[in-house]
A and B are shown apart, each in its own frame.
Chain A
């Protein structure tokens, strides 16, 4: 009973607290108010935007995405022509951004780590170089660096496209970038596919079993090697077993002489002409044989590899061995004889120089190619003609079933007069008869080759650009180089900070255990440094991705550049801006998500 008399804070009895003093209620209310303010603000912004857009005639809908774009784009990882839609053009932009961002991130990381480690090296020269690298590149604007790589380095200095540096194995380097031989899946790839899948499964199984075995035996060892080896063995065995497969039914090659384009397709109706409904056969190998023909070029004066060269002529890179019979000479021999001109070859038959043998020694000497009578230094102007009998080359068609030969002709008189002047009104009218002149067709013959699941496509240069192989344009390379070199300078500093954050005692302890310097670095220092390095590294990756929007400086067509073109051609600047923001946001978020997962795995687990 005495308990009743005790006065004090109500224990057990529920005293009503006013709702505005209830922490829980206040919390909920505050959230609700905040949300309401947000929604209201969003609504006001939206209303303002739409009314302001309406007032200034800005377009707000996304209907343009389905319209025919009609804009030419320089490079695309997927099939794109001007006939495709703005939506597809935008997609090309996104893919081109990813192409730069993913490769850029990988290369910048490798370079950054190397430079970061070098900054702590005990070798003075390495340390000094790394410091110089970081301080120079980190303190120069990226835009300047892109322009530098593109304008100052890639465009004027290296060899011209028609006079490229040949890489061993069949690649080329020139002012238009790099082209490399590349294996592509042929029409026969499907037969090999089961073996590839089997290889992956077997490899994974071997890896898993080996790892389990090692764990149970509590032994150190590598399970990845045996796994990879087993997988590869299965694939290679399958590749050999599958061998060459017959071509799809009715596969034919058609040839358009005016452009030198060979099209490989399935001629279902047997008329020898590619119809829209007849499918391409991608990556098919075809041997082209041209009976008789020729090529004609003009001598040129141009800057090449840092110096001005005069009176040079270049045929598309051709090999003497590709011809049965070959003759290179002046298109107008009488005129050349009158002017006392001669030809000197640097590389028969593709390139050479026209000169006048001033000292009469029967050979070209430096300086003899410059016309002494011209007011400014110039080479002799002449037309050079290559005539041949029996040209043979094996080509691999691209993903659109197209391969290209140099544009050979039979009759040059016709070729010179074939041009017709075109005025806008005549343009879309049916082509008038005549005009083109009668012309003897080339004697062309094509043999399609059966191929293995993979077919090696070697780059060629039939006209003044690369065909076939794997191509990295000079624009892509300039942007990639600038982004990698620039971002690596930041990554290097992050790596250095991370390494310095590992206590000195760790290295000493590793030494005490008898680990060598490199072992201590690999197994003790670096894994611990990684934990410090990774979070800031992620933001550098995102920076690189976003910085790729400076691409227009290198004439590279990525997300930003293409979106701006779309905005300009359709007048839909606001929707295009929204698309740009959404695309970068999506790319960055996916990047961050993946990397944060990696980071979570790496981070110290605190217990």
Chain B
């Protein structure tokens, strides 16, 4: 019950007048980055057979650590449930939250987060048993739908099916593993989450061929890293680490060729990003080679994507909206200048 820990933390807050320091300085002084991630979403955040965290979101934790501390492995991971994640940021338990979290207006305001650029554009979808006959949203009429509590997913489900005048019975779980197990055993006719989540969960079911993901997409789910409101310096770093991975892909810089590029390139944008000219990177309060380390140790966006979600993985999620803007996608980075 990690939630309990947070309750205790709250109690601790009663008595500790919390000495306030800048989070970025804290991270540098501490020598590692505390990153809140998912441990139940294969492809995005999960624990592998060696007991290490891996996934798309996890790689962004590594990237931020590489930028600030020069070492991609200087990360302490905290596995958070959907319910715990915001309290963990609010109380300072984690420095950065990279847990397939949707950017919404209320999370910017009342929850008090600051969202870095979207790393993964997603949308909410449904999965149903192939032999249930459910193919469209209308077929969900009167059905039992499993949904994870404390997510934007449950709010969208309620709003969208309500607007379409489709009545359904929600079956609510707070834990994604419990939810998929329940769906697999037939506790509900369909279940809903972000489409990337459906794709990543599909392969964990007893018989993946027995299930279909419906075509309908019912929401916009931009997923990205978030920090606490007011941590402006850390926020800037996180934001530009994400942009660096986009820029690197745009200019064809990969972890393998980054040294050659650094030695030969004359493109000013790239030179500034790699810390070869100007003080653009050291102005963030991190080492001048911070972004170079990101690309060297973790890779550009395409490398991160393909390693975790690409064609060589069991998930094979098409890039779609997550392609760079030059290829019709939405991933676009402002210039390093």
User: A residues within 8 Å of B by Cβ?
Assistant: 45, 48-49, 51-53, 55-59, 70-74, 81-83, 151, 155-156, 160, 175-176, 258-261, 296-303, 376, 381, 404, 407, 418-424, 427-428, 462-465, 552, 555, 557, 561, 564-565, 567-574, 577
Contacts and interface: CB of A to CB of B under 8 A. Distances in A.
Interface in B79-127: 82-83, 86-87, 90-92, 106-107, 110-112, 123
Contacts of A55: 18, 20
A127 B16 CA distance: 55
Contact of B142 (A48, A404, A569, A572): A404
B220 to A, nearest CB: 5
Given A52-B17, A72-B172, A424 B218 contact: yes
B172 A407 contact: no
Contacts, number: 185
Nearest to B150: A568
Contacts of B210: 301
Nearest to A423: B217
Given A298-B131, A298-B132, A82 B144 contact: no
Nearest to B174: A552
A314 to B, nearest CB: 10
A296 B133 CA distance: 9
Contact of A298 (B133, B136, B163, B170): B133
B174 A83 contact: no
5 contacts: A58-B90, A160-B186, A301-B131, A464-B143, A561-B172
A258 B7 CA distance: 47
Interface residues on B, range: 35 or more
A566 to B, nearest CB: 9
Contacts of A552: 149, 173-174
A421 B135 CA distance: 10
Contacts of B160: 427
A422 B166 CA distance: 14
Nearest to A428: B163
A465 B158 contact: no
Contact of B187 (A71, A155, A258, A259): A155
Given A52-B14, A57-B90, A259-B167, 11 more contacts: A56-B90, A71-B158, A258-B138, A258-B141, A261-B167, A418-B136, A464-B144, A552-B173, A555-B172, A565-B83, A568-B83
Contacts of B15: 48
Contacts of B170: 72-74
Contacts of A404: 142
A261 B169 CA distance: 14
Nearest to B142: A463
Given A56-B91, A160-B186, A45 B14 contact: yes
Nearest to B221: A424
Nearest to A407: B141
A577 B6 CA distance: 11
B187 A573 contact: no
Contacts of B168: 72
Contacts of B133: 296-298
Contacts of B10: 573-574, 577
A48 B14 contact: yes
Interface string B299-328: 000000000000000000000000000000
Given A407-B141, A573-B90, A420 B167 contact: no
Nearest to A431: B164
Contacts of A261: 167
Contact of B7 (A58, A424, A577): A577
Nearest to A383: B133
Interface of B: 3, 7, 10, 13-18, 20, 82-83, 86-87, 90-92, 106-107, 110-112, 123, 129-133, 135-139, 141-144, 147, 149-150, 154-155, 157-160, 162-174, 178, 181-182, 185-187, 189, 207, 210, 215-220, 228-230
A307 to B, nearest CB: 14
A464 B154 CA distance: 21
A259 B166 contact: yes
B186 A302 contact: yes
Contacts of A57: 90, 111-112, 228-230
A284 B308 CA distance: 57
Given A48-B13, A57-B228, A175-B186, A571 B217 contact: no
Nearest to A316: B142
Contacts of B91: 56
A58 B138 CA distance: 40
Nearest to B137: A422
Contacts of B142: 259-260, 404, 407, 462-465
A303 B186 contact: yes
A539 to B, nearest CB: 22
Contacts of B136: 418-421
A241 B157 CA distance: 50
A260 B167 CA distance: 11
A73 B171 CA distance: 8
B183 to A, nearest CB: 10
Most-contacted residue by chain A among B185, B220, B229 (CB, 10 A): B185
Contacts of B110: 59, 570-572
Contacts of B167: 259, 261
Contact of A48 (B17, B112, B147): B17
Contacts of A376: 207
Given A259-B142, A381-B131, A407-B141, A424 B217 contact: yes
A197 B91 CA distance: 57
Contact of B162 (A83, A301, A567): A83
Given A297-B133, A568-B83, A427 B218 contact: yes
B14 A56 contact: no
Given A72-B154, A72-B157, A258-B138, A571 B143 contact: no
Given A297-B133, A301-B210, A571-B112, A82 B150 contact: no
Contact of A259 (B141, B229, B230): B141
Contact of B181 (A151, A463, A573): A151
A555 B181 CA distance: 12
Contacts of B132: 298, 300
Nearest to A63: B110
Contacts of B155: 70-71, 569
B131 A422 contact: no
A541 to B, nearest CB: 24
